[in-house]
Amino acid sequence: MIKRIAACLILLLGTALAHAEKPLIPAPPQLAATAYLLLDAHTGQVLVEHNADEQIPPASLTKMMTAYIVSEEIENGSIKEDDPVRISEKAWKKGGSKMFVKVGDKVPVIDLLRGVIVQSGNDASIALAEYVSGSESVFAEVMNQQAELLGMENTHFVNATGWPADGHLTTARDLGTLARAVIADHPDHYDIYSEKYFSYAGINQPNRNRLLWRDPAVDGIKTGHTEEAGYCLVASAVKRGMRLISVVVGTKSDENRAAESQKLLAYGFRYYQTHKVYSSSDVLQTERVWGGKAPEVGIAVAEDVYVTIPRGGEDSIKADLIIDGELEAPLEKGQPVGKVVVTLDGETVADIKAVAAEDVEKAGFFKRMWDALKRFIMGFFQ
């Protein structure tokens, strides 16, 4: 039998107002773009979307995945930041934006990574793809495997650069998913996305993300442009403990992609907030344990619980703690025993595992028999 207990956040938030007014939120801005998306990086909650699942060519936004895979390879020890990478003729010849490496040069991985992220170098992207996987085509297979692992359901990569190619497609929603992973999974390398300049071979090139100069809250992430894709920008910013990610694709100019991205970010920060509901260290309440040395166990959540809510809307949050039947010893700390469902105005915004907050060892024979008898009698009357 599932036991349902209304938590209502009394532990952390106090008794909610019975007739609290719902915060008013205006309609989101309409952007001059093919598709766009705004989401809370911490919770993944989408705040604004338009044509978010329409497949579009990603142009150099592709390089977020190229950089992500290189960071993964460094983290798992397959390559090192100071590994020298020999530049092939294919990498050197590639047109478009360049880091300006030369054939036969041996360039450290970390420099090439900056060439990809800051300078959007096609040559650097191909060089890294060849170093990691032997060829760009094999690297593209790795990109697609990683996209699947991240849940990018409508994405297919053909190359490491975003150079126009048949079947090289993604969506605004998938780009938002990738941006979240770039920020969360490799925080040390994410710092590179905020660098305004990178110099190589005596050539100093600026980051094409104009928002890095305009808004101190913005710390990334990547631009893209081709004739078919238009001008694109995935941007991220942090204010008052909230990180937002905006995805804007298919605008008419460099200036437009920056201005439209600013509209989305400003809207999100003005009207929404990331709210911490529970910490993993919080004991929500205690539950009876049958056959244990201890008669009760504390119930906690498996991880910190955050939700995205309208600014000032804390009083509209409620939570239900659902225990999966009666608890029996032994229990281990962290063992799932149910879940916590958090709702905002009746809509589920978080569904998190509830776990035992401590170990409960099995009791001795006589204690277990006594508990079994009590359980039988209680069950009979119930």
The enclosing domain of 220 has a CATH number of: 3.40.710.10
Q: Is 258 among the domain residues? A: no
Q: Where are the alpha helices (H) located in 192-330, listed in sequence order?
A: 211-214, 254-271
Q: Is 232 among the domain residues? A: yes
User: What is residue 17's predicted lDDT score, i.e. its pLDDT?
Assistant: 35
Separation between Cα atoms, residue 247 and residue 232, nearest integer Å = 8
**Count of CB atoms within 10 A of residue 40's CB?**
22
User: What is residue 372's predicted lDDT score, i.e. its pLDDT?
Assistant: 65
The pairing of strands 230-239 and 218-226 is antiparallel
The first and second tokens of residue 13, run together, are 């938030």
Please name every residue paired with 170 in a beta bridge, in sequence order, or none if there are none.
Answer: 56
Q: Is 260 among the domain residues? A: no
The first and second tokens of residue 42, run together, are 């911490």
Active site residue 253: no
Q: Is 257 among the domain residues? A: no
What Å distances lie between residue 165 and 218, 227, 235, 237, CA to CA?
31, 12, 25, 31
Q: Is 144 among the domain residues? A: yes
Pair (233, 121) in one structural domain? yes
Note if the bond before 330 is cis, omega within 30 degrees: yes
Q: Which of 71, 97, 120, 261 is catalytic?
A: 120
Separation between Cα atoms, residue 50 and residue 251, nearest integer Å = 13
Q: Which of 251, 266, 294 finishes a domain? A: 251
Pair (287, 368) in one structural domain? yes
Q: Which of 209, 176, 141 is CA-nearest to residue 48?
A: 176
Q: Is 375 among the domain residues? A: yes
User: What is residue 368's predicted lDDT score, i.e. its pLDDT?
Assistant: 73
Separation between Cα atoms, residue 333 and residue 299, nearest integer Å = 10
Exposure string for 189-225, b = 16+ CB within 10 A, e = fewer = bbebbbeeebebeeeebebbbbbbeebebbbbbbbbb
User: What is residue 346's predicted lDDT score, i.e. its pLDDT?
Assistant: 87
User: What is residue 24's predicted lDDT score, i.e. its pLDDT?
Assistant: 83
Pair (211, 73) in one structural domain? yes
Pair (353, 247) in one structural domain? no
252: Cα separation from own chain's centroid: 28
Question: Along the 382 residues of the chain, how does pLDDT read in single tens digits?
Answer: 344 444 344 334 333 333 446 678 999 999 999 999 999 999 999 999 999 999 999 999 999 999 999 999 999 999 999 999 999 999 999 999 999 999 999 999 999 999 999 999 999 999 999 999 999 999 999 999 999 999 999 999 999 999 999 999 999 999 999 999 999 999 999 999 999 999 999 999 999 999 999 999 999 999 999 999 999 999 999 999 999 999 999 999 999 999 999 999 999 999 999 999 999 999 999 999 978 899 999 999 999 999 999 998 888 899 999 999 989 889 999 999 999 999 998 889 999 999 999 999 987 776 777 766 666 676 666 6
Q: Which of 194, 206, 210 is CA-nearest to residue 251?
A: 210
The shares of helix, strand and coil residues in the chain, as percent rounded to the nearest 5, are 35, 30, 35
User: What is residue 260's predicted lDDT score, i.e. its pLDDT?
Assistant: 98
Active site residue 63: yes
Pair (92, 126) in one structural domain? yes
Domain that holds residue 79: 35-251
Residues ≥6 apart with Cβ < 8 Å to 316: 16, 20, 22, 309, 310, 344, 345
User: What is residue 290's predicted lDDT score, i.e. its pLDDT?
Assistant: 79
Pair (14, 39) in one structural domain? no
Pair (7, 46) in one structural domain? no
Separation between Cα atoms, residue 245 and residue 360, nearest integer Å = 43
Pair (326, 376) in one structural domain? yes
Half-sphere exposure of 73 (CA within 13 A, CB side): 24
Pair (91, 190) in one structural domain? yes
Pair (95, 226) in one structural domain? yes
Pair (313, 217) in one structural domain? no
Half-sphere exposure of 90 (CA within 13 A, CB side): 14
Q: Is 54 among the domain residues? A: yes
User: What is the number of structural domains in the chain?
Assistant: 2
CATH number at residue 344: 2.60.410.10
Model's pTM, two decimal places? 0.88
Active site residue 60: yes
231 class by beta-carbon count within 10 Å (0-12 exposed, 13-18 middle, 19+ buried): buried
Pair (82, 200) in one structural domain? yes
Q: Is 41 among the domain residues? A: yes
Whether residue 101 contacts residue 115, with contact meaning beta carbons closer than 8 Å, is answered with yes
**Count of CB atoms within 10 A of residue 317's CB?**
21
